[in-house]
Structure 1
Amino acid sequence: MLQKNTDIPYQQLPFVGQFNIFPLLGFKTELTRQPHRHDHYQVVWFSKGSGQHIVDFVSYELEDNMLFLLEPGQVHQLLDDAKEGHVITFTEHFYFSNRHEQATMYDFTNLFDATRGYAPIRISNRTAATFQLLAELMYREKSASGSSRSIIKHYLNAFLLQAEREKKRNAAQAIAPLKGDERVVLLRRLLEKNFRAQHHVTFYASEFSLTPKRLNEITREKTGKTVTELLHDRLVLEAKRKLSFSHQSVKEISYELGFEDPAYFSRFFKNHAGIAPQDFRDVMFK
């Protein structure tokens, strides 16, 4: 169990340099079953899986050939019954080691971008076979004498491009896919940048030269939520992360998230999370 006097914001993986790949079957620690986060990008491919994988406090039922893409700072935990597959970890610096690569390499950050809503990716059998081949090539190059960063990077690049194709296929096969609107994607990115300081719809509407009413109409049509609801979701998620992974008091967290009145923040959190902030923290450390 987590200890209240121990600060463990990031899990220490068997991370060699700025890239690593390792089998899921052989990787199991007490910490994997507890909420934790990483300071690098992580690709978790369950070739066989059952149980639960919880990402940012949302539980997903594991299936065979399911892929999870995690950005730095995302919270997750594995409550699994069985799992096989591979984990790939890498830093942005590993992938983009110079300006030329930033201009010419595939921009994987869009693949990991959850602004359209986070969801695992279901992988077809054909793509799973390709993933297995690319994983074996990465293992082989990583363990070779004088292994090449460039070769590993190209194998990784091919893996991520295949993942992007599957992500698009998943979206196309959705029962009721929402029509895209680039303004909603930009709004989510704007929220991500400003949610701590800007709690009013008028700020975000002005960025699009729209009235608050019109921006709310757009977001409700595309996401089923108003701007305020999207903002509140992000504030609650960040509050949960802070309550789980910091020693800051509830009062300090409320100020950091832009609430001038800690008592109002506590009411806000309980209204949206169904539990008071301190009670949520106590449950996490139980």
Structure 2
Amino acid sequence: MTNSAIITIDIDTALSDSFSTAYLSAESFQLNLSCRISFNQLLFFKKGKGKLLIDGESYTVSPNTLILLAKNQVYSFKINQGLEAYSLCFGDCFWEKTPASSNNCKATLFNAASANQYLKLQKDDAAELNRLFQEILAEFNTADYSNKGDVLAAFLKILIIKIANFHALLAKITDRNDHKIYQKFVDLLANNYQVSHDVTFFAEKLNISSRKLTELCRKHAGKGAKDIIQLQLVAEAKRFLQFSSRSIKEISSMLNFSNPYQFSHFFKKNTSFPPERYRKQITGFGI
């Protein structure tokens, strides 16, 4: 297998004011070009069929498919049969312009570990989303004026809330306090997965029991706390293996495993591949 091209898209050079939207034709989706993004991105497919990998997981896309990509995720297209899609990208600094009331929706939808990457929308929902993307694109392409950023931020808030309402998991959320605790866990995990892999560690930080944390995770993400921690570790391990030349020993240490053997056992258990084989199969590189 030949090594695929790898690019990192940086928000400072890719986006004006940390926000951008466009309607992309098939030529925009280059095959086997792996991209790591430093912003959040939505892809709403309108035409064609295709397949893409996100952090090593495969997704099939077709009209009315919505893909949510979180900051630092890696994706590449493997099949492109006439794909066309709306693309909307925004950075954390732009999100700060949106009202705080929409933070719950954004945090849940763009939590990569919760497996909320893929939404296949119903016809009416897709039509509503299509109208929103059209309005946002039209506003984005108007001449600049003093409050244009605020208007786009308001549109973004509406879009994210609408998507959250379409999302089956989020629609089940009834206890806002519980959801806030779950959000805090998501944030803690993003910043501490290299510190501890133990559910108890995170539960103590949140001043709740491990059992309570697991219940909250099952309620809001459909997975237990341990499963979510492991998904985060697997995603980070895949990124290191695919996009760095670090040795298995170095990656093991960076992810806070006791030794390379423990890391290799964990990785194989969760992916069916030893890390060496995964790296070679994905990149064409040996260790």
> Is TM > 0.5 for Structure 1 vs Structure 2?
yes
Q: Deviations over 1:50-97 (max 9, x none)?
A: 12233232222213233323222012222322211222233333454x
- Matching residue of 2:133: 131
Cα drift, residue 170 of structure 1: 3.3
- Paired residue secondary structure (2:256): coil
What is the 5 A alignment of 1:24-39?
Answer: 24-25=24-25, 27-28=27-28, 30=30, 33-39=32-38
- Paired residue secondary structure (1:118): coil
Cα drift, residue 138 of structure 1: 1.6
| Residues in 2 aligned to 1:126 and 1:224: alpha-carbon distance in whole angstroms | 27
CA distance 1:78–1:29, shift in 2 (3 Å): closer
Cα drift, residue 106 of structure 1: 5.8
| Residues in 2 aligned to 1:118 and 1:55: alpha-carbon distance in whole angstroms | 12
Letter in 2 for 1:86: Y
- Paired residue secondary structure (1:260): coil
CA contact (8 A) 2:193 2:229 kept: yes
Q: RMSD of the TM alignment (CA)?
A: 3.3
CA distance 1:17–1:44, shift in 2 (3 Å): same
What is the 5 A alignment of 1:129-278?
Answer: 129-139=131-141, 141=142, 144=143, 147-148=144-145, 150-171=147-168, 177=172, 181-182=178-179, 183-220=181-218, 223=221, 225-278=223-276
| Residues in 1 aligned to 2:101 and 2:186: alpha-carbon distance in whole angstroms | 25
Letter in 2 for 1:202: T
Q: Deviations over 1:75-129 (max 9, x none)?
A: 2222322211222233333454xxxx47779658436532654133424213312
Cα drift, residue 184 of structure 1: 3.3
Residue 22 in 1 paired to residue 22 in 2? yes
| Residues in 2 aligned to 1:240 and 1:247: alpha-carbon distance in whole angstroms | 12
CA contact (8 A) 2:26 2:82 kept: no
| Residues in 1 aligned to 2:218 and 2:95: alpha-carbon distance in whole angstroms | 37
CA distance 1:258–1:194, shift in 2 (3 Å): same
When the two structures are superposed, what TM-score results if normalisation uses the length of structure 2? 0.78
- Paired residue secondary structure (1:35): strand
CA contact (8 A) 2:169 2:221 kept: no
Corresponding pairs, count: 272
Letter in 2 for 1:134: I
Q: Which structure features the higher share of strand residues?
A: 2
Letter in 2 for 1:230: I
Letter in 2 for 1:237: A
| Residues in 2 aligned to 1:216 and 1:233: alpha-carbon distance in whole angstroms | 14
Question: Equivalent pairs: percent with the same residue?
Answer: 24
Cα drift, residue 232 of structure 1: 1.5
| Residues in 1 aligned to 2:92 and 2:272: alpha-carbon distance in whole angstroms | 37
Greater shift after overlay, 73-82 or 204-213?
Answer: 204-213
Q: Deviations over 1:170-219 (max 9, x none)?
A: 32798xx5766423333233222211111222212323434434544554
Point out the structure with max Rg over C-alpha. 1
When the two structures are superposed, what TM-score results if normalisation uses the length of structure 1? 0.78
- Paired residue secondary structure (1:255): helix
CA distance 1:213–1:261, shift in 2 (3 Å): same
CA distance 1:138–1:2, shift in 2 (3 Å): farther
- Matching residue of 1:93: 93
Unaligned 5+ segments in structure 2 are none
CA distance 1:187–1:106, shift in 2 (3 Å): closer
CA distance 1:149–1:254, shift in 2 (3 Å): farther
Unaligned 5+ segments in structure 1 are none
CA contact (8 A) 1:138 1:152 kept: no
Letter in 2 for 1:171: A
